[in-house]
Amino acid sequence: MLFSSIPFLFYFLPCVLILYFAVPKGGRNAALLVSSLFFYGWGEPRFLLFMVLTILGGYVAGLGMAGCGSNRRAARWWLAAFATLCLGVLGVCKYADFFLENFRAVTGLPVPLLRISLPIGISFYTFQILSYGIDVYRGTVPAQKNLVSLATYIALFPQLIAGPIVRYADLEPELRQRRCTLGDTAEGVQRFVMGLSKKILLANTLGELVQLFRASQEPSLLFAWMYAVAFTLQIYFDFSGYSDMAIGLGRIFGFHFLENFRYPYVAASITEFWRRWHISLGTWFRDYLYIPLGGNRVSRPRWVCNILVVWMATGLWHGAAWNFLLWGLFYAMLLILEKWWLGRLLEKSRPLSHIYVLLTVVLGFVLFDAASLGEAAGTFRALLGLGGLPAVTAESLYYLRSYGFLLLLAALGATPLPARAVKKLFSSGPGRAAGSVAAPLGTVCLLLACTAFLVDGSFNPFLYFRF
């Protein structure tokens, strides 16, 4: 079930809200858990098995580590067994066929593929339960003795499918006790509808241009760049829109999820970009992989190795394919160069640093979006005007006229300028009174517009669902 669908908006969500606020406060976690399991099992009930197995493993391992007391060796065994379970399930479901295919290509042996369908959101909830187990081992959080509370944390449907990756330490106080105020509900509804609008009105429409390029029989330099920019904007509004919806829904139910995006396309370096893009994933790898490896408090060769390991893992986390692995290594190379000498050059000219970031991010997403390395190479050739492609065709000019305004609007929307303008307009005096009317009215208008698009059949699945 998708957030951007009629069944979710007008059937599932209203029923969950009625159930949630009808039950006593002590039963609200159970109500959310039942709703979340139904939400996850809506399309593929069999995938619930993997989630239930992970939850039970985390519950037993947490209690086991807590029962070890000062016996760190025994606690390490519990953690190792739990990590093996989680990563084993993730590895079999997501990576087994990738490694088997490459093994067959290298050896020529007819090894059969497993062909296991990838459970939706498995990367996200696996990392969440792993962070819980590691934090219990470290002693930074107590082991959760209430199975319903732990299961609610893992299965919580607002952020189950595509994040943000929520730490147990951040959510544990609100799992025990939380308040649902009218102000939080209003802010949550507005945030959810804003995210829904980013997804449906911007990301989906940009996705149409991306599909037109893929189906085009008249490739050109202009069309290739339109595609690259459109996909870069699409994936931002698609994923940040989902994060907005997750944060908004969480607020409605009394949870406060951390921000996952902070206008990454205004960054002045790749280092800054990754502090603004998919923040929950970046901090997860920092705290649970990079720092345990030694971080930057090691020799330079060891630090380079740490960076490569982390970014290879980041690339493979996004998908079991060579383009994702190379995408991660591409960013590893840029981060290393920025640390050594490129960062000092970027500080001398902020306009040039922005151009550098936008260009590298666009090229990176071309590699990210490719179905194969051959397809990526073909698109890169088109972007460089190689292979005898014309600079412009009648088709590319037609789509530039059709989608040019949308591209400009989306580019502006990916900056903080619209939010700053709205805040300044409605922050004081008569504007504040007008804002109290404009905010709910604008929310209703956006919801109606999104509903019209959905009824009309304008739809694309979330890009990050496959991860």
> How many Cα neighbours within 13 Å face the side chain of 302?
10
For residue 426, how many other CB atoms are within 10 A of its CB? 18
Provide the phi-psi class of 363: left if phi over 0, else alpha when psi is between -120 and 50, else beta: alpha
CB 144 within 8 A of CB 59: yes
Q: Residue for token digits 């085009």?
A: 216
Torsion sign (Cα): 116, 121, 126, 129: negative
Assigned token pair, 232: 């870069």
The CA distance from 110 to 357, in Å, is 44
What amino acid is encoded at 303 in this protein? W
Torsion sign (Cα): 227, 369, 275, 306: negative
| Known catalytic membership, residue 318 | yes
What's the Cα-to-Cα distance from 344 to each of 84, 299, 347, 348, 360, rounded to whole Å?
42, 21, 5, 7, 17
Phi first, then psi, for residue 134 (nearest 5°) are -65, -40
Phi first, then psi, for residue 35 (nearest 5°) are -65, -40
What's the Cα-to-Cα distance from 417 to each of 60, 258, 410, rounded to whole Å?
49, 22, 12
Assigned token pair, 315: 């690339």
Q: Residue for token digits 């590298």?
A: 360
Q: What angle do CA 408, 412, 415 make, to 5 degrees?
A: 150
Catalytic one of 256, 278, 318, 354: 318
The CA distance from 281 to 260, in Å, is 9
Report which DSSP code applies to 25: G
Provide the phi-psi class of 129: left if phi over 0, else alpha when psi is between -120 and 50, else beta: alpha
Q: What is the DSSP string of 216-283?
A: -SS--HHHHHHHHHHHHHHHHHHHHHHHHHHHHHHHHTT--PPP--S-GGG-SSHHHHHHHSSHHHHH
Active site residues: 318
